Homo-oligomer: A and B are copies of this chain.
Amino acid sequence: MLIEKYQIDQHNGELSEKQQNKFNFFKAENPSAESLLQKLVDFQIAIPSWALGTGGTRFGRFSGGGEPRNLEDKMMDIGLLHQLNRSSGAISLHIPWDIPEDVEKIKNLAASLDLKFDAVNSNTFQDQPNQAYSYKFGSLQHVDKKVRDQAIAHNIEVIKQGEALGSKSLTVWLADGSSFPGQLNFREAFQNTLASLKEIYAALPADWKMFVEYKSNEPNFYSTTVADWGQSLLYVTKLGPKAYTLVDLGHHLPNANIEQIVSILLMEGKLGGFHFNDSKYGDDDLTAGAIKPYQLFLIFNELVEGMDANNMNHATDLGWMIDASHNVKDPLEDLLQSVEAIMMAYAQALIVDRKALKAAQKVNDVALCQEILQEAHRTDVRSLVAQARLMAGGAIDPIGLFRSVKVREKLIEERGLKSVATGL
């Protein structure tokens, strides 16, 4: 289902006076407010095709109703999100969970929903039916060349699928690693992985990027073959100019300073993009900003500072994607919450007084440096973000509208109570 334009207009009509009042107050305090609106409008966060259904853990999965039954349903869900917030105008496909059967039809559907095809994602962490070799002991790292070749071929196939749709990047997340000391020769695992990645890299179209994601642990519990940003950077440096590191916020050891990693990767010209989520313990895949919103802001603070230093375009020069698991909330509401939190962090980073910050840093005025960042984070930017959404044709209060027009109830009616989304 989609929302009718009149429904959005009516919703906005009811809230507009209040919104205008708040935004006016915001503008009075932040004279540059108007100039930020377009940046916020331009900023789009891709939704992965596997995030539209209820996720789970190894202990269980409690599906909700009205989950998408196929790729078309998933795209419709993202289209609906994009109608509401105008910031979710891209889909990131997971292959083989979401192989288009009819590419033209899918492209037309995307166009009608104003969605772009973001990075395509390969999957070598599960075995598919009729697969010749198992990934039980890894894929691109595998001791057996035949398994590696199968995984390479799959990645190249994913590139092809993405090319047909208009994607411009491939994200490689590897579960490869080991669960016990001695299981792997780390060096050979690295070298096998590198050699495999090189073959995939060679198949990249000229205007594509390859993102190499890292993760400290899980599903392997002793070592991971692309375990941290340092290892990812080694791979992408050896691969070449089209290879970049991808940062997923939940893939770090406890207490890691992610914002510093972001800054260094930008400095090296090797930051490729982001998977947004939040976590308290491990790769919890919670809603972005749900646990550590200040950290999210600090990360955006480095992104804005570092991208500006590199003359990069905020909206287009890095890949922005959500990667969360919706275990106890309606996936669509959860995604709206994630996007909102990301937009707020970005907005707060935009209003940091960079000139004052630089001056304070120059004289080691640590208290003032802190004040300047806190000033931005303590500012209520909700009216700014809402104004950008309004400007782009979205709803002032996306979740409010989602609930008032009874989206979920209608999806259940349409798709049934027991539909279970394919993929993770």
Interface, chain A (partner B; CB < 8 A): 22, 25, 29, 55-60, 62, 125-127, 134-137, 143, 175, 178-187, 190-191, 216-219, 221-223, 227-231, 233-234, 252-257, 259-260, 263-264, 266-268, 279-282, 284-287, 289-295, 298, 301-302, 305-306, 309, 327-330, 333-334, 337, 341, 344, 357-358, 360-364, 366-367, 369-374, 377-380, 382, 399, 424
Pairs A–B under 8 Å by Cβ, sample size 9 = A57-B218, A136-B328, A181-B298, A216-B281, A217-B282, A231-B264, A254-B254, A329-B367, A371-B399
Distance from A256 Cβ to chain B, minimum over Cβ atoms (Å): 6
Look across to chain B and name the residue whose beta carbon is closest to the beta carbon of A186.
B263
Look across to chain B and name the residue whose beta carbon is closest to the beta carbon of A285.
B221
Contact A219 B264 (CB under 8 A): no
Q: Which residues of B contact A267 (CB under 8 A)?
A: 186-187, 190-191
CA distance A333 to B367 in the complex (A): 7
Contact A264 B366 (CB under 8 A): no
Q: Which of B62, B136, B222, B367 contacts A291 (CB 8 A)?
A: B222
Q: Which residues of B contact A137 (CB under 8 A)?
A: 328, 364, 366
Contact B370 A337 (CB under 8 A): yes
Distance from A134 Cβ to chain B, minimum over Cβ atoms (Å): 6
Distance from A156 Cβ to chain B, minimum over Cβ atoms (Å): 22
Contact B361 A59 (CB under 8 A): no
Distance from A58 Cβ to chain B, minimum over Cβ atoms (Å): 5
Contact B230 A230 (CB under 8 A): yes
Q: Which residues of B contact A363 (CB under 8 A)?
A: 143
Contact A287 B57 (CB under 8 A): no
Q: Which residues of B contact A263 (CB under 8 A)?
A: 186-187
Contact B290 A328 (CB under 8 A): no
Contact A337 B367 (CB under 8 A): yes
Contact B185 A305 (CB under 8 A): yes
Look across to chain B and name the residue whose beta carbon is closest to the beta carbon of A281.
B217
* Known contacts A137-B328, A257-B280; A291/B181 CB under 8 A: yes
Contact A281 B366 (CB under 8 A): no
Distance from A152 Cβ to chain B, minimum over Cβ atoms (Å): 19
Q: Which residues of B contact A58 (CB under 8 A)?
A: 55-58, 219, 424
Contact B366 A217 (CB under 8 A): no
CA distance A329 to B222 in the complex (A): 14
Contact B399 A367 (CB under 8 A): yes
Q: Which residues of B contact A179 (CB under 8 A)?
A: 284, 286, 327-328, 366
Distance from A28 Cβ to chain B, minimum over Cβ atoms (Å): 8
Look across to chain B and name the residue whose beta carbon is closest to the beta carbon of A173.
B59
Q: Which of B134, B293, B328 contacts A183 (CB 8 A)?
A: B328
Contact A382 B373 (CB under 8 A): no
Closest 10 CB pairs of A and B: A230-B230, A182-B369, A221-B284, A62-B136, A186-B263, A57-B219, A253-B253, A60-B126, A380-B380, A182-B373
Distance from A365 Cβ to chain B, minimum over Cβ atoms (Å): 9
* Known contacts A62-B136, A279-B221; A264/B372 CB under 8 A: no
Distance from A311 Cβ to chain B, minimum over Cβ atoms (Å): 14
CA distance A292 to B297 in the complex (A): 11
Q: Which of B282, B333, B370, B424 contacts A181 (CB 8 A)?
A: B370
Q: Which residues of B contact A301 (CB under 8 A)?
A: 181-182
Contact A344 B378 (CB under 8 A): yes
Contact A125 B60 (CB under 8 A): yes
* Known contacts A230-B230, A282-B282, A292-B292; A329/B260 CB under 8 A: no
Look across to chain B and name the residue whose beta carbon is closest to the beta carbon of A233.
B230
Contact A291 B293 (CB under 8 A): no
Q: Which residues of B contact A219 (CB under 8 A)?
A: 56-60, 327
